Amino acid sequence: MMPNPPSRRPAWEDSPFMKAARREPADRVPVWLMRQAGRYMAEYRAVREKTSFLELCKNPELSAEVMLTAVEKLGVDAAILFADLLPILEPMGLDLEFTANEGPVIHNPIRQAKDVDRVRELTGLERLDFVLQAVRQTREGLDECLPLIGFAGAPFTLASYAVEGGSSRTYRHVKVLMYTDPPAWHSLMERLARAVSIYLNGQIAAGAQVVQLFDSWVGCLGPDDYRRYVLPHTRAVIESIAPAAPVIHFATGNPALVPLINEAGGAVIGVDWRVRLDDAWRTIGYGKAIQGNLDPVVLLASHSEIRRRVREILDQVAGRPGYIFNLGHGILPQTPVENVIALVDAVHEMGERA
């Protein structure tokens, strides 16, 4: 009997992005950008003229198309699933709508313990199969050298939308529930953590090589509240993820949380522009990879200013392995496409290693 031939190592495993996530030396600094497929691109706007945002998210073919178009146009080193943070809430009993002027709206928000009781456990991904199909179709259309990033909202950010009923400046309802009924709060967070774990592991099984956990709203908290009300639930998600897929843990808004974000876990810690990258890396320790952290508004400036800012950040990296270039948040809709391409080119040029 002839022995089975050895299985071929996927090309993405040796990509600059995956090497950086594993803190291995690579021949260049990898770069990808949050919201790299979005309203700043004419191709995306053309798709959106024919369909609503939620319909686009639920159409795997179109979702794959807009991301693959962006990756090819920009020359980035990774693709990220085109989706939204919030559809995971629908099978859990939340009534979600994306409105033209207000953005996402939850029509039956959670405000007290009895509301938490109606949040259903996510026991399977049947109603989120469109996301898994988008992962598969994006992976199939992507160059094998490029990894695919799956993602989900972190439990706190999902809870915030569910409790506030939409966006907020004060987070009043969230904090009232946390402070006045901690058992109800922790029950909600535990339910969301279990759902996010199922969701991210489902994306990995469908073809994602990496997953990013977005805690976009957690910067409204101070360190003591983060430790008490958030950290155990985020850690539970990260510890549940399939070990083969590195987790990028990204939070924004409060640099004082960086040590606690690190404590909650993640192979890669994503930071925003409110802290210097070298300060953040010293805080988390060089035993972890880091991602960030250009202010997205810099992309509205001149190409020379973009290059200057890239140089500043790369100087802070000081050639250490384990760095992934990104923005400190998503690309703004007003951003010229040519500026984004100039950014990617600058990172590749200045971040090339002999």
Element holding 106 (H helix, E strand): strand 103-106
Rg of the Cα atoms in the chain:
20
270 lies in which domain range? Answer: 39-281
- Looking at every residue in the chain, the average pLDDT score rounds to 96
Within a domain: residue 203? yes
User: Which is the catalytic residue, given 48, 136, 274, 320?
Assistant: 48
Q: Give residue-wise pLDDT tens across range 233-276.
A: 999 999 999 999 999 999 999 999 999 999 999 999 999 999 99
Give residue 101's pLDDT band: very low, low, confident or very high (50, 70, 90): confident
Q: Which residue has the tokens 């992507």?
A: 142
Q: Is 215 a catalytic residue?
A: no
Within a domain: residue 112? yes
Q: Give residue-wise pLDDT tens across range 49-80.
A: 999 999 999 999 999 999 999 999 999 999 99
CATH number, position 262 = 3.20.20.210
Given a contact cutoff of 8 angstroms between Cβ atoms, the answer to whether 350 and 314 are in contact is yes
**Does the structure show a pLDDT above 50 at 105?**
yes
What pLDDT does 1 receive?
55
Please tell me what DSSP assigns to residue 120.
Answer: P
**Number of independent structural domains in the chain:** 1
Q: Give residue-wise pLDDT tens across range 203-227.
A: 999 999 999 999 999 999 999 999 9
User: Which is the catalytic residue, given 22, 39, 136, 274?
Assistant: 39
Instruction: List the Cα angle 85/260/249 in 5-degree steps.
Output: 35
What pLDDT does 354 receive?
43
State phi, psi for 324 to the nearest 5 degrees.
-120, 120
HEC string for 284-334: HCCCCEEEEEECHHHHHCCHHHHHHHHHHHHHHHCCCCCEEEEECCCCCCC
Q: Residue 148: helix, strand or coil by DSSP? A: strand
How buried is 347 (Cβ within 10 angstroms: 0-12 exposed, 13-18 middle, 19+ buried)?
Answer: buried
Q: Residue 103 is which amino acid?
A: G
CA gap 173, 164 in Å, rounded: 6
**Does the structure show a pLDDT above 50 at 170?**
yes
Within a domain: residue 228? yes
Within a domain: residue 103? yes
Within a domain: residue 340? no
CA gap 48, 55 in Å, rounded: 9
CA gap 115, 93 in Å, rounded: 10
What pLDDT does 6 receive?
60
The number of residues making up the chain comes to 354
What pLDDT does 5 receive?
57
Closest residue by Cα to residue 185 from 206, 162, 204, 208:
162
Given a contact cutoff of 8 angstroms between Cβ atoms, the answer to whether 343 and 40 are in contact is no
User: Which is the catalytic residue, given 23, 35, 111, 139?
Assistant: 35
Q: Which residue has the tokens 């990898």?
A: 30
Within a domain: residue 151? yes
Within a domain: residue 53? yes
Q: Is 84 a catalytic residue?
A: yes
User: Which is the catalytic residue, given 40, 44, 161, 229?
Assistant: 161
CA gap 124, 99 in Å, rounded: 28
What pLDDT does 319 receive?
95
Q: Is 323 a catalytic residue?
A: no
Within a domain: residue 222? yes
